[in-house]
Amino acid sequence: MIEDKELRNLFRIESEEHIQKLENGLLHLEKHIHDTTILHEVFREAHNLKGAARLVGAEEVETVAHIFESVLGAAKQGQSTLSSETLNRLYHGLDDLRQLVFRTVSSQKVFIDVAKVVSKLEGKDNHPPANQAELKAEQKTQQKIDITSSNKLKEQIPPSQINDINTIRVEPQKLDSLMVQVGELVVTKKQIERWSDKIDKLITLWEEWNKDSYEKRFYYRELQRKHPHIAHQLQQWNKKEQDYLDNMGNNLQTILNTAHENSAKLDFVTHEIEEGICDIRLLPLSTIFGLFPRMIRDLANEQDKNVNLVINGGETKADKLILESMKAPLNHLIRNAFCHGIEDENQRQKKGKAPQGTIELTASQTTANITIEIKDDGRGIDIDNIKKVALIENIYNTEELEKMSDSQIQSLIFEPEFSTATTLTELSGRGLGLNIVQKNVQRLKGTINVHSRLGEGTSFIIRLPVTLATARVLIVSIKEQVYALPIEHIHSSCIVNSSDIYFLESRATINFGGKPLSVISLEEILNKETTRLNKYQCIVIRQNNELLGIFVDELIDEQEVVVKQNSNILKRVPNISGFTILSSGQICTVLNPKDLIKSVQKCSSSTETYLQKSAKKKVLLVEDSITTRTQEKRIIEAANYEVVIAVDGADALKKLKTTTVDAIVSDVEMPHINGFELTAQLRKQKKYKNLPIILVTSLATIEHRKHGAEVGANAYITKGTFEQELLINTLRRLV
């Protein structure tokens, strides 16, 4: 029996599904013997069952499934036919497989001879009948055997185990969709809470109004004494106003009470739904950790090494998507630790180490994060070798490498260039594929760090969020525009005086925690004009082992949001990981901390950082879709152009009356005046005869392209194959 409970349950569910599909396929093939598509599907089911059995160490199931696969494979390749006798053998094989699976996943004894099962499946226990009478007799005997076998199966496997449905298999995509909707519900809840605040403000306004109305009564009494002829009318007005105020006050209080009550209910329901769906998706990490002891055992036999794999924290639970996505990265890191980290026994004894090497796989969890550490006591990472590779691959020069800390140099193993064939032997295991590992971790909104000491060992630490549906972000603003930074990348914040800024190696720097810290304005990173101030609000962000101080105008709020990834049209925008809608209803750009740090590393900051920049080329962007407009604006601004926005062709013509631009980037399908009409109208004016016009549209037919050229567009880019480099290169070529 499989010892791991979680693996046991998963294998039971998966094997039942494979066996049922095998049975359905055989029933179909019995009637449609030449249906090669179904034959291929049945063959694949047998192959998948064999693979699943191998992973959990169910050797008997694997053996029978392998023979099953071989029989179907021979039929698939035309080496044999699926005769009625062969199909009968396969049906019996399915019954035997069910019994073997039951024995593997339960503590009950099921008596079955695997050798006989294999022999029966291969047809080695059958002898051809001599005549028709023998054939009929054999068929009757076989029918009795079938009935006996079926009854025996029912006796050995309780009906409750066969017929009960105690689990439901749900496609992960459906749960993903539900989690996204829950995330939207969380944001909506925040918006409703803000409406309660607005109602509170209305009540405060009503109280002031009511107080003012009450004070007017004394004024009316004075008027009544001096002007009795108008006093009656004033009293009527005052009474009517007071009635309105009383009615308004009662309604406002009712609305406020209802809003608070509904908000509390929504808060409770949202929390329950979120917790429930998250719990459905959560599986213990032992689900994937259990795959690695067998791998280490096989590697130890292959390479004649003595290695012990220690697993801690397997009970830690994580989202199923995280588990599925982390299988390959963990497999890669553990295999590297074994093959290239742990020395053989002779080498270890020469270094005074224990003959047996140790790899530790440890998981732990906090409220917001899951941490997975893969640690070995092997040879460690040679920093000098990393430097050599960096020089060979022209990643950094000698001067740049000398300025880096040991931690920064070790992090170079995640660079794509380290996966080339020219990587030094000592680094081959530590470099090959680690860039892919890092990308997989970052795709899950996580981070991966490496710590190593030469001769003592290496540790990879992976931090992942507990949930992927929503993200905690810090909302900041520059020039009244809001941006969001993921909370997990924020180290701290502080106020910086301009007198505290000095320049170290041409970079703006402050003293932070007794060490120099590079600082830069978010405006400069996003290629906006920056102005010099006396004080700066500084956010210190962390990416792996690197810190960077970013100046912003204001820290606004911390919120839980649903991050919308960039569309397929604009998959990769520098410094931006996506967009979100805040509880206030504002569209907010979510920044990418890794890109921000890389952008700063590539640029050479100087005293010009905080001075007005020289005039940029100006581009008129005409686009009615706010999402596409925002993304295209970022791309163009990132290329050091100033962008003027127009929401359609008519708006563009208005903007051109008061603004001089160097080029136009326009959508085609827009209300009022479309891109074709806008281009045609501009080309009729001598002033715009030579103005570069680029049409960016989803209309990709030859006729549309031809029409674009006829009206005078200089370039025509289709959104279906859109790449930001293409747009920028076209702009630079034309402007």
pLDDT in tens, 496-543: 888 888 877 667 888 888 888 889 888 888 876 666 677 889 999 987
What three-state secondary structure class fits 436? helix
Q: How far apart are the C-alpha atoms of 172 and 6, rounded to whole Å?
A: 18
Look up the pTM and report it: 0.47
How does pLDDT run across 221-230, given as a tens digit for each residue?
A: 676 677 766 6
Q: How far apart are the first and last CA of the chain?
A: 72
The CATH code belonging to domain 172-283 is 1.10.287
Residues with Cβ within 8 Å of residue 481, at least 6 apart in sequence: none
What three-state secondary structure class fits 330? helix
Q: Hey, which CATH number is domain 5-163, 3.40.50.150, 1.20.120.160, 3.90.1150.10, 3.40.50.920?
A: 1.20.120.160
For every residue of 401-430, DSSP letters joined together read HHHS-HHHHHGGGGSGGGGSTTS-HHHHHH
Of 585, 697, 589, 592, the C-alpha closest to 634 is 589
Fill in the DSSP letter of residue 433.
Answer: T
Which helix (H) or strand (E) segment holds residue 733: the answer is helix 724-734
Superfamily of domain 471-610: CheA-289, Domain 4 (2.40.50.180)
Radius of gyration of the chain (CA): 35
Fold of the domain spanning 618-734: Rossmann fold (3.40.50)
Q: How far apart are the C-alpha atoms of 538 and 553, rounded to whole Å?
A: 9
pLDDT confidence tier of residue 721, bands split at 50, 70 and 90? low
Burial (0-12, 13-18, 19+ Cβ within 10 Å), 99 = buried
Residues with Cβ within 8 Å of residue 59, at least 6 apart in sequence: 53
Residue 672: is its pLDDT beyond 80?
yes
User: What distances in angstroms separate CA 401 from CA 98, 368, 422, 503, 555, one per listed residue?
Assistant: 61, 35, 19, 20, 35
How does pLDDT run across 541-591, given as a tens digit for each residue?
A: 987 667 899 999 889 888 877 776 655 555 557 788 888 877 666 788 889
| Paired tokens of 507 | 């970079």
Instruction: Answer yes or no: are the C-beta atoms of 583 and 191 closer than 8 Å.
Output: yes
Show me where the domains of the chain are located: 5-163, 172-283, 286-465, 471-610, 618-734
pLDDT of residue 311: 92
Instruction: Answer yes or no: are the C-beta atoms of 426 and 382 closer than 8 Å.
Output: yes
How does pLDDT run across 357-414, given as a tens digit for each residue?
A: 999 999 998 766 899 999 999 999 888 888 888 888 777 888 888 878 888 888 888 8
How does pLDDT run across 53-98, given as a tens digit for each residue?
A: 887 778 888 888 899 888 988 888 888 888 888 888 898 888 888 8
pLDDT of residue 194: 73
Distance from CA of residue 587 to its chain's centroid?
20
Q: Report the top-level CATH class of 286-465.
A: alpha beta
Question: Taking the alpha carbons of 661, 665, 669, 670 in that order, is the dihedral positive or negative?
Answer: negative
Instruction: Answer yes or no: are the C-beta atoms of 311 and 289 closer than 8 Å.
Output: yes
Pairing of strands 507-512, 515-521: antiparallel
Q: How far apart are the C-alpha atoms of 296 and 311, rounded to whole Å?
A: 12
pLDDT confidence tier of residue 622, bands split at 50, 70 and 90? very high
Of 139, 65, 74, 68, the C-alpha closest to 104 is 65
- The answer to which of 194-198, 474-478, 491-495 has the lowest mean pLDDT is 194-198
More confident residue, 154 or 400: 400
Q: How far apart are the C-alpha atoms of 109 and 157, rounded to whole Å?
A: 10
pLDDT of residue 141: 47
pLDDT of residue 113: 84
Of 367, 418, 416, the C-alpha closest to 389 is 418
